[in-house]
Amino acid sequence: MIDIILSGFVGAVLGSIIVAGYEEYKFRRTNRLSIAKEKLEKLYSPLYFFLENSKNISKTNEDQFLNTKEQDAFIDEIITKYYYLADDDLRQNILLLHSISRYRPGNKDTFKDIFSKIRVGYEKYSELVGFRG
């Protein structure tokens, strides 16, 4: 009789541990997906869109943003509001994309690296959230 009670107790404890572990996994995964979705929607997608749109409009293969007041204002707003969402490697130089810095001659060399990081982030977070665009 004690064997049955003991085995039931051990089964209940093991079951509780497994359920708690699974719930922790689900919580972390949901949290990770939520952060990835926010990064994609608020930072990487808009910057990627402007980068690709500028390339198509200018009909060059060169990575650049167009020089328009509307685009400058929108990019400045994205960078200012969502700077905290940038991955560490992008965060180091993303402020150079702000219109105050963007048109300084010495900063142009850094842009290829920044644009590459925008693309990598966009692709990484798109894949993570399951976006097939």
pLDDT of residue 53: 77
Q: 0.85 exceeded by the pTM? A: no
pLDDT at position 122:
94
31 contact partners, CB below 8 Å, separation of at least 6: none
Q: Average pLDDT by consecutive 10-residue portion of the chain (133 residues)?
A: 82 86 85 92 90 70 67 88 93 83 71 86 91 66
| Distance (Å) of CA 93 to CA 83, 110, 118, 130 | 11, 8, 11, 28
Q: Domain ranges for the chain, please list them.
A: 36-129
pLDDT for res 35: 92
